[in-house]
Structure 1
Amino acid sequence: MAVGAHYRIGVDVDPGESSEPNRGIRSAFKTPTTPDVTEGIKAAIQGAINKADVTLDSIASVMIGTTHFINAVVQADERHLRPVGVMRICGPYTKENPAFLDFPPILRRIMRGHVSYLDGGLEFDTREIMPLNEDQIRQECATLRSKGIQDIAIVGIFSPLDIKGLQEEAVRKIVLQELPDADVVLSSEIGQLGYLERENATILNTSILKFARSTIKGFKQAISLLGLTCPLFLTQNDGTIIDALQAEKCPIKTFSSGPTNSMSGAAYLSGLDTRGAWPTNAQVIVADIGGTTTDVCALLPSGFPRQAGTWVEIGGVRSSFSMPEVFSVALGGGTKVEVDSDGKVHVGPESVGHRLISEGLVFGGNTLTTTDVAVALGKANIGDASRVKDIPVEKLSQARSRIKKLLEYSVDSMKLSADDATVILVGGGSVVHMDDLEGVNKIIRPQFHDCANAVGAAIAKVSGQVDTVEVLEGRDEKEVVAAACEEAKQKAIEAGADPLYVEVTSVENMPLEYVAMKATRLIIRAAGPLSKTALLVSGRYESTTTHADDITEHQKASIMSNQEKHASDFIVSPSASVDIRDYRPEVDEKGIWWVSEIDCEFLATGCSILACGGGGPGYMCYLAARAAIQQGHRLPIVEADDLDPDTWVMGSVSYGAPTVTTERLPSGTEAKDATDALLTCFPGVKMGAQIAIEIGGMNGLRPLVTATDYNVPTIDGDYMGRAYPRLYLMTPFLFGESATPCTQADGNGNVVTVHKAADFHAVERIHRKAGLELGLFSQLVCPPMNVKRVKEVGTLGTTSLAWYIGRAVYLAKQRKTSIMDAIMEANPSGRILYTGKIISLTRHVSSGGYTEGLVELKPIGADEQEYGDTALTDTRHMRLPFQNEYLYAELFNPGQSTKDRGEILCTVPDLISLVGTDGYALGTQDLRYGVRVTVVAFTAHPHWYTEKGIEVGGPKEFGYKDLDFVPLGKPYYEPKRVTKEFRPSRA
């Protein structure tokens, strides 16, 4: 086994010897990292082989994990990144969200080469949006040739479902005919569903491709110079391996293999990978304690780490690919232990890191670290213990207690339930663990724990994955899932897994929401050990590709001399470049508020809080508004009072399934097509303003974008004052306004209008059915009203309210003050109900297509409080049922049955929101065990306090027939208006 500072190399770990105490590990050898990759690899492997005293021909394979590729992205290393030509197979869609928009400026400058929009794309059920256009593809290739771009990313809508290769693969073949020396990467080979995140990951992979090929060539040379002829593999982010040739094509899949190797290595070293060894009905958590941080991950019974959610961030870029869900806390062997002026002992977050052996007390230095504490207490035999024998007992006791709490906190953050867990400790810094941990029934620190990374690399398996959406109408769901499992296993076998031992490691079955038929998304992973055939493959050390490995040295020198990097080059958040205290939105003398990119950021955050758990993913609409501004559009917001009372007002709402919403990005014509069609039902009506249908989530920003098509302003306000799951839950309908005619359009020329329906429920059912044919994502437009009527039935000022809430969040983060207090100051009709962490969660999709569930919280303990927290004297837990949006907040005693009603603090139609520590609210799709949240509530608009409002929007509408409306008890405050506060004073 060999371990370097940046590389983990597994050698001669034979699973057949797992009955031995050392589990077949013959040696462990560490060597410092060298500037030259080839020399470093040679030294590490040679050292391990010599120490193990084995022959070269007995080495079956070499597995390497590297951070080279991710470092190039994070550091924006222009020597190794190349411009990329992006070919979107999208038909009319995605234009509202341009490629590279959410990249840090420096990566956008380096990587943005050219973007093509091609005919094609698929619907969620793999119907073609439109066929490919070969002439169009060849024309775009000519453009790429003229720009000298040879690195090309092909990204098709719903391409992960295109198992027959009808579109992305077909485009690649044409591109290689026109540009035979090009590197072409398909998004379906890189990421899962989620168009922007998958495209971003594909771009990163394409840009790094030539550097990866050059680096892996160095690995091959090192092995070849040692006289080894065995196969070379690289470890992937998900804990499995790919051969060197595949790694050259998909280097992004190795970006975060280090933490994953530690996790799977821990499972192996502890013996939990053997049959029957896994604790019955228990959670297994791995804590990898290094010099500076503790990385914690939950292990699945398969021995693989639990994967992260829908996206991860790499170098400031939201990306989608398999990566472990890792929680990091500032605790390591080199963490500093300090005493403040009040005598309170603090552990971290500062650390001496790799300088521990020179700066730690027991090593002759002058800094007290956690390692010194462990030695002083007799819990570790490291260095010179006499140098820490005089440290006061109380100081050591406080430090020990704090270390214990940090470990408990990090472990609890990865648990999926309150049940006790088994914890495996690995890493050189694990000596800092000294005590039993609350919520942990067993702690294992295995032999070779400080080499878990290398062990994980050496024993890694080969995997295969299926990510698909299946329509289940008329089909047996079990058979559909079983067939998908077999497909995942076959993919693993094709990648080199042994057919006799390949197994399904995880099955995610996620029913689609808002769907008028039964459909589900399946993500299935399978894995198995390398087959003998794969291990016998040799001669892989010479690359089969004829592409150039990297840019020339002359080009490198030119880049570095002409492009100076600045901190602002890495900033993604628009507000991060200003002092928010001094920022003033642009409001002219007429009272028109001209929205900026910073305003969009504030609005998106505020709208997430007003969404009450629903409202759909707002990121796309936020980016669309920013893109519109960058393209030269002006986004005006006005007060209803400043418009002629006879001005006609219209608005649209995103209508469909969230899975489709994140994949088939809008064309930008959906709302216009629906609006134009609906206006034909109202001869003589000319729209003069837009308004949000709901302020919550993505729809709060939608009118700003739609208004650019008509050169009209957006009214400060909406028709809900929140988000609600059903079309008819709007304030105009409380006052007798009709829901028909109303129209939805899909952005591809298809428009459906319901001219008349028996009742509101019938309108909903008809549009849901039509939405299926439209691909489960459209914009729906309601009948126009004049400004006079809007002022009577709308909820005005909510756009300003969202802005003030968002601004308060970002200002608090910038000034390091309490985010929750800032939110309350921005909306005085609100109240903080609870601060706790999620300890229980149930979720399912109802027959009506809505996400239903129940989330339970318990209080944050005194030792878990952060700045601005107030200790809760109430020990009761809180539960919040939801149907897309949260319905009521209830305090109850732990263990109390859900049938026994506790204390109801408030119910709908008052607003209830769960806000994370970053100030962004959690949608019901974001809820997970262990997440820390603050429950805030706001008094609803007076329209919802009417008898009709409580009847339509109260708890009984959602099935709680025995529960009357319980108001929050705070007065409603008319929102402060941005236009009034920032309008220039008149002389």
Structure 2
Amino acid sequence: MAIEKVFRVGVDVGGTNTDCVILNPSESDTPNRGILSAVKTPTTANVTEGIVKAIEGAISQCSGLSRESISAVMIGTTSFINAVVQADERSLRPVGVLRICGPYAKENPAFLDFPPVLARIMNGRVAYLDGGLEFDTREIMELDEQQVRDECQALREKGITDVAVCGIFSPLDLEGLHEARVKRIVLEELPDADVVLSRDVGQLGFLERENATILNTSILKFARKTIRGFKEAMDWLGLSCPLFLTQNDGTIIDADAAETTPIKTFNSGPTNSMSGAAYLAGLDTASGNLPKAQVIVADVGGTTCDVCALLPSGFPRQAGTWVEIGGVRCAFPMPEVQSVALGGGTRVEERDGQVHIGPESTGHRLLQEGLVFGGSTLTTTDVVVASGKAEIGDVSKVGHVPSHVIEQARLKIKHLLEAAIDSMKLSADDCICVMVGGGSIVQMDELRGVGQTIRPQFHDCANAVGAAIARVSGQIDIVKVLEGLEEDKVIAEVCDEARRRAIDAGADVDKVKITEIENLPLQYVSTRASRLVVKAAGPLARKALLKGGASLPSEVNTKEFAELISSKQEQSNAEKNPLDFIVSPSAHVEVADYRPEVDENGVWWVSEIDCEFLAMGASILACGGGGPGYLCYMAGRDAIRRGKRMSVIDIDALPDDAWIMGNISYGAPTVTLERTPSGTEGIDATDAMLTMFPGVEMSAQIALEIGGMNAIRPLITGIHYGVPTVDGDFMGRAYPRLYLKTPFLYDWMAMPATQADGNGNVVTVNKATSIRKVEKIHRKAGHELGLFSQLVIPPMDVATAKKVACLGTTSLAWYIGRAVYQARQEKRSITDAIVAANPSGKVLYTGKIVHVHRYVSSGGYTEGSVRLAPISSEEQEYGDSVSGESRHLHLPFQNEYLLAELIDPETPNSRLSATGGSEKKQAPEGEVLCTVPDLISLVGSDGYALGTQDVRYGVRVSAVAFVANPHWYTPKGVATGGPKEFGYDMDFRPLGPAYYEPKSVMKEFGPVG
């Protein structure tokens, strides 16, 4: 009689231990939730050895268990990510990158933002191919098959057989128009090649998806060898069931599929712990006991505490648009995890009358170094034992520790846990906290903001449990034009496709459910269009468990395998310089000592470090808008690396009759991140404009907006024309509309106005009834141009620019950026440094975000509001000043923050959410501190400014404001850029300090005399 296959084996390979559980999912309603055994063994140098020992140990605990009754083995491993993080040349291979991009993406080459050591190992060859798609799946260009074959010949000559293919908007390519065709051609030319398609790896975000694809391709052969070892282990153990690996998003992938996309399994450990914790606590969807409160999981190990929020689906909340792997920005599903230096082995020290917790830890040496184990180091475990909260080791060995040290340490542990949990919450309501992990004993007291704390049975093996119960998923990330369509019907069709993908991956067709739907309308779009991200998931189908094992075709020699798993990994074949892992150029210098290059003529020659400072400062001056500045920053760095020179001059260095021009990014940020610039958009638009002014010879560029991505754009354009950039701009901040520029306050008209898409298409509005009409026409034209272009307004003579421009703002952005990096390097207050760099500024408020309301208006602008609550005394960090302010801060926004209003803490969020949605907004009822046109920015504790698209509950921020340029303080300036322009029937409320005339980099750092 056939033995029924009912049991699952879950394995999680951690840095210290390898955990294994055997579970019967059909007995999930029992007190032990179907868990038959749980084993923890030390992780070995060869991970396969540890896996074999753990599974053998778990099976031996189950008396009479037949190996034939095991239906599946699920393994979570960090082997692959470790190879990348350590830049292990034995495991990584050079990659040939084929970009299907047409004219685009050339401004940001592949490998540009890789740490130097990884770029040297992985950069085999980069090719740019005709093709690519627009956001609505129109072809940018037709694919050129001969071009692909020619590139294959080049790869053959270099001996490269690992190929990454990345096409613009390829996640939308459901028909396989480009990436799949390129793969077929490559395999015809290079039959032994490993070809990875970016659409199989990541989501929208071209550079980040390409980076993930490169990492995946480089690690592919090592991953295949490792997974082969897992299969050999199963053969040696006598297991004939399927083998699965757990993925970063909390689902599983069969071993054969994991061999093609190992990057999807890079960081599955935290996810396994989170989903396992919910299952053990009986809070998962399978139990039917879904909690009404938000669920936060805290996984405490020996060194760190990883905190994550669980969605009602049982999956962890996903991170934002990108994550970082080994210093490389990547785009693929990963859980949003907050890690703090708190574990069972964290060191406790008393210095200068204060008790300090970590960040140093004894880690896996806790049993040798902790006091209760006979060591000499006071750890958090010792504090727990001394507090009478656990019976571990010898309590007499902590009897000499002063009681005040134990009390202070216990209080600080409580505060660390509270802050970490609060950072993951989506609202201020009390949450349920599930504590798991071997170090979870450090949670000794009730936690503020936590209504219920659960430490379930088998909590120290939650990661292996999560692996055993993991589901199968399917996800689709697509942009849909909704104009003329029923939105609900479109969403339903996308959901059906997500379900189909889950079923194809092995999910039970009768139990697949939609677990996530994100509907993200595109900004600045005249026709309705949305990015839809839909995920479906379900348990493994029975047929997937009956399809046969993952064993190898040939038999495995027991002696050979024993030798294989007992072998130790070799040490890396080269010592690596730690600076080789750092991407930031300013990290290589003492910021306080750095001096920009200004020559004897007063010309500032911009360096990579200057680019970094400019990008940081411009993000703060963007006031929550300004578009993604990272692309322009990296493009500027690439130009410098290629030997190009970017320069800035004072406007007084030009004669009054000289002509200056500028260009500004125009379109939807979502498109910008995918169809990255060609670098010719601004040049095409500028050339077209110059044909209409035959007597004009451009002498310099100028930023049309100093906020965000547009601050560095004129420097890059100036390279092509061999002209410098004037220190200044036409806004002094960021604003969402074309006509919100200072020249128009003086009746200077933006006609003609020209935009170009970088693919040879140029549109000019030669004449219109008003500047507002120019804006509307260009928005319509921008749709046909693919929702991203560069726009140019007419040339301006220097004499006029001196009257109407905001001068000195390029220097101002640099000084603010430098102040942030210097404060970070010197561990000083970042907000104080920002205000010192611009004395017309004030820190309005320091608090945490407790409410966010966001929507897209009919005009295509992101509107909403942010609410901040004060930092409590328990949450204050070293250096914080106590303001005594008990009120909350309310910040409405329309792409940029519009006003700052102190409100009563009892004011309901529903009233604040009602401030938008109509042309006339609800008037503020609290104390208004300032409004537009003054600048308001939210700055995180690390110095990065948060765009309105980035704000979320729990983030600690400071609201910083600056006095606007005097042009905005004129009656017309207030009428044009003040609160009434954005629908608020109220007068302008100025910030207060006098305007600060920015210092000049050229004057401060130029030659003396």
Question: What is the TM-score of this pair, normalised by structure 1?
Answer: 0.97
Name 1:950's counterpart in structure 2: 974
Q: Structure 1 residues 178, 735: CA separation in 2 closer, same or farther (over 3 Å shift)?
A: same
Q: CA deviation at 1:820?
A: 1.1
Is 1:357 the counterpart of 2:367? The answer is yes
Q: How does 1:178-257 map to 2 (within 5 A)?
A: 178-257=189-268
Q: Secondary structure at the match of 1:149?
A: coil
Q: How does 1:685-696 map to 2 (within 5 A)?
A: 685-696=696-707
Q: CA deviation at 1:481?
A: 0.8
> Alignment partner for residue 498 of structure 2, among 477, 484, 488?
488
How far, CA to CA, are the matches of 2:379 and 2:889 in structure 1?
39
Q: CA deviation at 1:541?
A: 2.3
Name 2:60's counterpart in structure 1: 50
Q: CA deviation at 1:441?
A: 0.9
RMSD, matched Cα: 1.6
How far, CA to CA, are the matches of 2:571 and 2:801 in structure 1?
57
Amino acid at match of 1:976: K
Name 1:295's counterpart in structure 2: 306
Unpaired stretches in structure 2, ≥5 consecutive residues: 1-9, 555-567, 913-921
Q: Secondary structure at the match of 2:996?
A: coil
How far, CA to CA, are the matches of 2:997 and 2:880 in structure 1?
28
Q: CA deviation at 1:279?
A: 4.8
Q: Secondary structure at the match of 1:688?
A: strand
Q: CA deviation at 1:352?
A: 1.4
Q: Check conservation: 1:9, 1:64, Cα contact below 8 A.
A: no
Number of residues of Structure 1 aligned to a counterpart in Structure 2: 972
Q: Structure 1 residues 889, 455: CA separation in 2 closer, same or farther (over 3 Å shift)?
A: same
Q: Check conservation: 1:613, 1:884, Cα contact below 8 A.
A: yes
Q: Structure 1 residues 275, 62: CA separation in 2 closer, same or farther (over 3 Å shift)?
A: closer
Is 1:599 the counterpart of 2:610? The answer is yes
Q: Structure 1 residues 292, 9: CA separation in 2 closer, same or farther (over 3 Å shift)?
A: closer
Name 2:485's counterpart in structure 1: 475
How far, CA to CA, are the matches of 1:408 and 1:816 in structure 2?
24
Name 2:770's counterpart in structure 1: 759
Q: How does 1:836-985 map to 2 (within 5 A)?
A: 836-896=847-907, 897-898=911-912, 901-961=925-985, 963-985=986-1008
How far, CA to CA, are the matches of 2:944 and 2:453 in structure 1?
35
Name 1:553's counterpart in structure 2: none
How far, CA to CA, are the matches of 2:529 and 2:989 in structure 1?
36
Is 1:664 the counterpart of 2:675? The answer is yes
Q: Secondary structure at the match of 1:239?
A: coil
Name 1:388's counterpart in structure 2: 398
Q: Structure 1 residues 200, 274: CA separation in 2 closer, same or farther (over 3 Å shift)?
A: closer
Name 2:145's counterpart in structure 1: 134
Q: CA deviation at 1:770?
A: 0.1
Amino acid at match of 1:968: L
Deviates most, 432-441 or 189-198: 432-441
Q: CA deviation at 1:868?
A: 2.9
Name 1:162's counterpart in structure 2: 173
Name 2:577's counterpart in structure 1: 566
Q: How does 1:55-204 map to 2 (within 5 A)?
A: 55-204=66-215
Q: CA deviation at 1:220?
A: 0.7
Q: Check conservation: 1:3, 1:29, Cα contact below 8 A.
A: no
Q: Check conservation: 2:933, 2:974, Cα contact below 8 A.
A: yes
Q: Structure 1 residues 827, 278: CA separation in 2 closer, same or farther (over 3 Å shift)?
A: farther
How far, CA to CA, are the matches of 1:564 and 1:369 in structure 2?
33
Q: Check conservation: 2:21, 2:461, Cα contact below 8 A.
A: no
How far, CA to CA, are the matches of 1:651 and 1:8 in structure 2?
59
Q: Secondary structure at the match of 1:926?
A: coil
Q: CA offsets, 1:251-286, max 9 Å, x none?
A: 000010000000010011111114575455411000
Is 1:579 the counterpart of 2:603? The answer is no
Q: Check conservation: 2:508, 2:539, Cα contact below 8 A.
A: yes
Name 1:524's counterpart in structure 2: 534
How far, CA to CA, are the matches of 1:950 and 1:539 in structure 2?
72
Q: Structure 1 residues 889, 960: CA separation in 2 closer, same or farther (over 3 Å shift)?
A: same
Is 1:778 the counterpart of 2:801? The answer is no
Is 1:654 the counterpart of 2:665? The answer is yes
> Alignment partner for residue 812 of structure 2, among 801, 813, 823?
801
How far, CA to CA, are the matches of 2:12 and 2:174 in structure 1?
39
Q: CA offsets, 1:85-129, max 9 Å, x none?
A: 000000000000000000000000000000000000000000000
Name 1:680's counterpart in structure 2: 691
Name 2:560's counterpart in structure 1: none
How far, CA to CA, are the matches of 1:40 and 1:270 in structure 2?
28
Q: Check conservation: 1:674, 1:781, Cα contact below 8 A.
A: yes
Q: Check conservation: 1:614, 1:924, Cα contact below 8 A.
A: yes
How far, CA to CA, are the matches of 2:630 and 2:517 in structure 1?
27
How far, CA to CA, are the matches of 1:882 and 1:922 in structure 2?
12
Q: CA deviation at 1:380?
A: 1.0
Q: Check conservation: 1:151, 1:206, Cα contact below 8 A.
A: yes
How far, CA to CA, are the matches of 2:165 and 2:18 in structure 1?
32
How far, CA to CA, are the matches of 2:81 and 2:707 in structure 1?
36
How far, CA to CA, are the matches of 1:320 and 1:4 in structure 2?
24
Is 1:709 the counterpart of 2:720? The answer is yes
Q: Secondary structure at the match of 1:93?
A: coil
How far, CA to CA, are the matches of 2:458 and 2:699 in structure 1?
72
Q: Secondary structure at the match of 1:744?
A: strand
Q: Check conservation: 1:818, 1:867, Cα contact below 8 A.
A: no
Amino acid at match of 1:918: D
How far, CA to CA, are the matches of 1:486 and 1:184 in structure 2?
28
Name 2:384's counterpart in structure 1: 374
How far, CA to CA, are the matches of 1:76 and 1:876 in structure 2?
49
Q: Secondary structure at the match of 1:27?
A: strand
Q: Secondary structure at the match of 1:63?
A: strand
Name 2:457's counterpart in structure 1: 447
Q: Structure 1 residues 274, 699: CA separation in 2 closer, same or farther (over 3 Å shift)?
A: closer
Amino acid at match of 2:97: V
Q: Secondary structure at the match of 1:487?
A: helix
Deviates most, 51-60 or 718-727: 51-60
How far, CA to CA, are the matches of 1:685 and 1:804 in structure 2?
33
Q: CA deviation at 1:38?
A: 3.3
How far, CA to CA, are the matches of 1:585 and 1:223 in structure 2?
60
Question: What is the TM-score of this pair, normalised by structure 2?
Answer: 0.95
How far, CA to CA, are the matches of 2:744 and 2:128 in structure 1?
41
Q: CA deviation at 1:4?
A: 5.2
Amino acid at match of 1:585: P
How far, CA to CA, are the matches of 1:24 and 1:974 in structure 2?
70
Q: CA deviation at 1:396?
A: 2.1
Amino acid at match of 2:947: G
> Alignment partner for residue 640 of structure 1, among 643, 647, 651?
651
Q: CA deviation at 1:336?
A: 1.7
Q: CA deviation at 1:30?
A: 1.7
Q: Structure 1 residues 145, 187: CA separation in 2 closer, same or farther (over 3 Å shift)?
A: same
Amino acid at match of 1:905: L
How far, CA to CA, are the matches of 1:277 and 1:376 in structure 2?
40
Name 1:318's counterpart in structure 2: 329
Q: Check conservation: 2:688, 2:762, Cα contact below 8 A.
A: yes
Q: CA deviation at 1:542?
A: 2.4
Q: Secondary structure at the match of 1:749?
A: coil
How far, CA to CA, are the matches of 2:283 and 2:49 in structure 1?
36
How far, CA to CA, are the matches of 2:748 and 2:352 in structure 1?
66
Q: Structure 1 residues 273, 618: CA separation in 2 closer, same or farther (over 3 Å shift)?
A: same
Q: CA offsets, 1:803-848, max 9 Å, x none?
A: 0010111111111111111111111111111100100000000111
Q: Secondary structure at the match of 1:28?
A: strand
How far, CA to CA, are the matches of 2:414 and 2:579 in structure 1?
39
Q: CA deviation at 1:557?
A: 13
How far, CA to CA, are the matches of 1:849 and 1:740 in structure 2?
23
Q: Check conservation: 1:635, 1:707, Cα contact below 8 A.
A: yes
How far, CA to CA, are the matches of 1:558 and 1:115 in structure 2?
31
Q: Structure 1 residues 104, 318: CA separation in 2 closer, same or farther (over 3 Å shift)?
A: same
